[in-house]
């Protein structure tokens, strides 16, 4: 009768969410199948016991881009994955650190400070 049935809308939203979750699980399983269980950054190896700490990163940061050959996926441990997104955030926020380049430490700025204070005497 009435066009605006709220419970029906709820169901549609719930279904969309569910299918998104299912798809997510799908590409994770797929990625774990085609790639070795090793973090692409720190080369930490994973086993069944801790594979939950290994996550699927999207190289282009587009979670809807899931080619079946896995070319947009990269397996990263939770720490490196976090780091990767942090850097991306900082970059897009225009933090404007010139040529931070590929710093693989957790705290690039602390590292930078140390490098700038190079004048320490060698003990
Ligand atoms: Zn890692
Ligand atoms: Zn990611």
pLDDT digits (tens, 9 = 90+) for 5-62: 889 999 999 999 988 888 777 899 999 999 999 999 999 999 999 999 999 999 999 9
Tokens describing residue 38? 């090793």
Residues 6 or more apart from 60 whose CB is under 8 A from it? 72
Give the single-character DSSP code of 52: G
Rg of the chain (C-alpha set): 21
Ion ligand 2: residues, Cβ under 5 Å: 57
Dihedrals phi, psi of 33, to nearest 5 degrees: -80, -40
- Quickly tell me which residue has 């650190």 as its tokens: 97
Say how many Å lie between the CA of residue 11 and the centre of ligand 2.
Answer: 29
pLDDT at 21: 80
pLDDT at 96: 52
pLDDT at 24: 72
- Quickly tell me which residue has 């049935």 as its tokens: 5
Decide if pLDDT at 110 tops 80.
Answer: no
Say how many Å lie between the CA of residue 118 and the centre of ligand 2.
Answer: 35
Q: How many helices (H) and strands (E) in the chain?
A: 3, 2
pLDDT at 67: 93
pLDDT at 100: 47
Q: Which residue has the higher pLDDT, 120 or 32?
A: 32
Cβ atoms within 10 Å of 108's Cβ, excluding its own:
18
**pTM (2 d.p.):** 0.59
Which ligand neighbours the alpha carbon of 24 most closely? Answer: 2
């Amino acid at each position: 009768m009435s066009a605006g049935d709220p419970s029906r809308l709820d169901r549609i939203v719930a279904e969309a969410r569910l299918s998104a979750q299912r798809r997510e699980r799908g590409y994770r399983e797929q990625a774990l199948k085609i790639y070795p269980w090793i973090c692409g950054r720190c080369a930490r190896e994973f086993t069944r016991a801790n594979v939950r700490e290994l996550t699927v990163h999207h190289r282009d940061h587009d979670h809807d881009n899931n080619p079946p050959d896995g070319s947009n996926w990269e397996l990263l441990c939770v720490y490196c994955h976090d780091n990767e997104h942090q850097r991306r955030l900082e970059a897009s926020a225009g933090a404007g650190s010139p040529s931070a380049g590929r710093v693989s430490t957790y705290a690039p700025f602390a590292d930078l400070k140390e490098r700038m204070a190079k004048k320490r005497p060698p003990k």
